[in-house]
Structure 1
Amino acid sequence: MEWRGKRTSRNIEDRRSGGSSRGGLPGIRIGGGRGAGPLGIVGTIVVLLIGAYFGVDLSGLTGSGGSFSAPTQQTAQSGPNTIDDDEEAFVATILGETEQVWTQIFAASGQRYTPTTLVLYRGGTGSACGMAQSAMGPFYCPGDRRVYLDTDFFRVMEQQLNAGGEFANAYVIAHEVAHHVQNLTGTLGEVNAQRARVSERESNALSVRIELQADCYAGVWAHAAARELALTDADIREALNTAARIGDDALQRSAGGRVVPDSFTHGTSEQRQDWFFRGYRAGDPAQCDTFAARSL
């Protein structure tokens, strides 16, 4: 994968120097509940693994909980000439690539793509979906149309989940941007309205379809960006390995518990790999209709 020297996005908010502390954990709403809360690439079970990495006991936070709204800090956006470090440069480049690809895809359908803003933070920060914390992993908040990312998560992926690599990290970003695409197309609003009216089991099943579609859209992005980023088979294997490591079944086994399919909110390892590769192979968002699929 070759990302250096490419166009970088200006839609970055860097809150790392003035982020809030890691305190104030009670009351955080972790993904997996019903409604229009944050949508992340990992399910609630991985919170325990991440908590262990950061040295924080998060065992009490895996229920639905309430939400805690903290004020969003005012920060200047970073641009191509104000990037401070290699980490931000990587994120800004991948975000820029997603903007380029989705702008073209939307334009082909006579629509206009409005980019998301990606918030870089360290420890914790405010969002319209409640308090963003490192232990939550990356997520997209429909309320403010922002992606939240503490890049320490990339080290968690490598050291705790054995899912490291630059393109593995790029896949994570592309998945969260895919939730923004779902928001712009109205999919998130429609599905979240359905989830609010059904049982927890049915709500989880709808969540799985949302997440698998986001995986597929990430694959569509990879297909379109392959030449620009000089992607190799090894890069795609990194993404597929990551998809396998963060499947609900794999995460539940890693946490030492039994596998409970009715509790899945993101899909199995096999499903996540399959839908990412389906999008990558086809390069067509129309092939990502998980809601019409009889089987996943």
Structure 2
Amino acid sequence: MRFNPKADISKGRVSDAGGRGGGGGMSGGGMRMPIPGGMRAGGGIGGIIIVVLFVLLTQCTGGGGLTGGGGTGVDPQGQSGNPAGLSQDSDRYANCKTGADAETDVDCARKAVALSLEDYWAETLPAQGDTQFTPAQIITFSGAISTGCGQATSQVGPFYCPADQQVYLDTTFFQDVLENQLGGQGGDFVEPYVLGHEYGHHIQNLLGTMSRVKTQQGPNSDAVRLELQADCYAGMWTKAASGGDGIFLELDQGDIEEALDAAKTVGDDRIQQAGGQRVNPEGWTHGSSAQRMKWFSTGYEKGTLEACDTFSASTL
């Protein structure tokens, strides 16, 4: 993964809320990466907590500032100011100005990825989806944070909240969970894949796709279809970035393999096994490892919203 050293990444929409106390889980509506339940600092994997996707009707049909079947037309925080749940931005990203900074600093790389995602979907969504694009903000935090979907802690993993149209991320997730607990290989493109997936949920939000979720568990459920489509959208963006998009100079095969490994690592079957349980497809909310790899690859190879229509697919 190489960034264009001359790229201006200062406009990348990433903010940091710092560390906060408190606890409590999301009250509902957040689209999240699944992680093992019972995670503790220095502890092992406890029982799996299956988090059902509560796609609240008000969040999908206008009550949360959204409009079913199309774009919102409103940037929830505008071009300036703090996003929901962020009372004061830290200076974590203050020195991230160019692609050269992204080459040497993981925080700046995150900011560059955010800008690449925004640029890609600003062009692709209107062209392919006939829908107005409004950007999402990526907010990093530690401990706990208040969001439009309720109070969230680091234990919920990275997630997108449709109520405030933000992506939330505790950056310790990648080493603590994906690598240490679930045995993923890691690598510098793992986080971009996860951000691409969560940003994919934002695109679904703008398209009104979330209102199609009626069944919330099972191998062919709407919830699984929603998650696999987000993986497909991540693949679409990855393909564009791999060809050089002004921010990235190139992605190599190793980067693609890291993304596929991350997709495999967060498959429902893999997580059930990691929690000491038998594989039970009826409890799936995100899809199996094979399904997640398949749909990321579909997005990467086909590069279209139409190819990523998991809701019309007879076989996932």
Q: Show CA shifts across 1:59-117 (max 9, x none).
A: 696566x9xxxx92312487985449933212111111101111110242454321101
Consecutive unaligned residues in structure 1, runs of 5 or more: 31-35
Match of 1:96 in 2: 115
Q: 1:73 aligns with which of 75, 86, 89?
A: 86
Q: 1:153 aligns with which of 168, 173, 182?
A: 173
Shift of 1:241: 0.9
Whole-angstrom CA distance in 2 between matches of 1:202 and 1:13: 35
Match of 1:181 in 2: 203
Q: 1:58 to 1:258 in 2, by over 3 A?
A: closer
Whole-angstrom CA distance in 2 between matches of 1:63 and 1:94: 28
Whole-angstrom CA distance in 2 between matches of 1:227 and 1:78: 32
Q: Show CA shifts across 1:9-54 (max 9, x none).
A: 43222111xx322x434xx238xxxxx6110122xx5233xx1455
Q: Show CA shifts across 1:165-214 (max 9, x none).
A: 111111001000000000001101x124x34xxxx546981110000000
Does 2:292 match 1:272? yes
Match of 2:229 in 1: 213
Consecutive unaligned residues in structure 2, runs of 5 or more: 55-83
Alignment identity in percent?
A: 36
RMSD (Å) for aligned C-alpha atoms? 2.9
Q: 1:121 aligns with which of 141, 155, 175?
A: 141
Whole-angstrom CA distance in 2 between matches of 1:276 and 1:57: 27
Q: 2:33 aligns with which of 35, 41, 52?
A: 41
Q: TM-score, normalised to structure 2's length? A: 0.77
The answer to which of 167-176 and 80-89 deviates more is 80-89
Does 2:15 match 1:13? yes
Whole-angstrom CA distance in 2 between matches of 1:79 and 1:284: 35
SS at match of 1:240: helix
Match of 1:33 in 2: none
**Aligned residues of 1:204 and 1:265 also touching (Cα < 8 A):** no
Q: 1:244 to 1:179 in 2, by over 3 A?
A: same
Amino acid at match of 1:93: A
**Aligned residues of 2:47 and 2:276 also touching (Cα < 8 A):** no
Q: 1:78 to 1:214 in 2, by over 3 A?
A: farther
Does 2:220 match 1:165? no
User: 1:179-258 counterparts in 2 under 5 A?
Assistant: 179-188=201-210, 190-192=211-213, 194-195=214-215, 201=217, 205-228=221-244, 229=248, 230-258=250-278
The answer to which of 55-64 and 217-226 deviates more is 55-64
Shift of 1:58: 7.2
Amino acid at match of 1:74: S
Q: TM-score, normalised to structure 1's length? A: 0.82
Amino acid at match of 1:14: D
SS at match of 1:46: coil
Q: 1:105 to 1:60 in 2, by over 3 A?
A: closer
Higher helix share: 1
Q: 1:20 to 1:4 in 2, by over 3 A?
A: farther
**Aligned residues of 1:116 and 1:177 also touching (Cα < 8 A):** yes
Amino acid at match of 1:3: F
Match of 1:281 in 2: 301
Q: 1:183 to 1:41 in 2, by over 3 A?
A: same
**Aligned residues of 2:219 and 2:281 also touching (Cα < 8 A):** no
Whole-angstrom CA distance in 1 between matches of 2:90 and 2:13: 6
Whole-angstrom CA distance in 2 between matches of 1:7 and 1:240: 29
**Aligned residues of 2:138 and 2:166 also touching (Cα < 8 A):** yes
Whole-angstrom CA distance in 1 between matches of 2:304 and 2:12: 26
**Aligned residues of 1:7 and 1:97 also touching (Cα < 8 A):** no
Amino acid at match of 1:149: L
Q: 1:258 to 1:175 in 2, by over 3 A?
A: same
Amino acid at match of 2:26: R
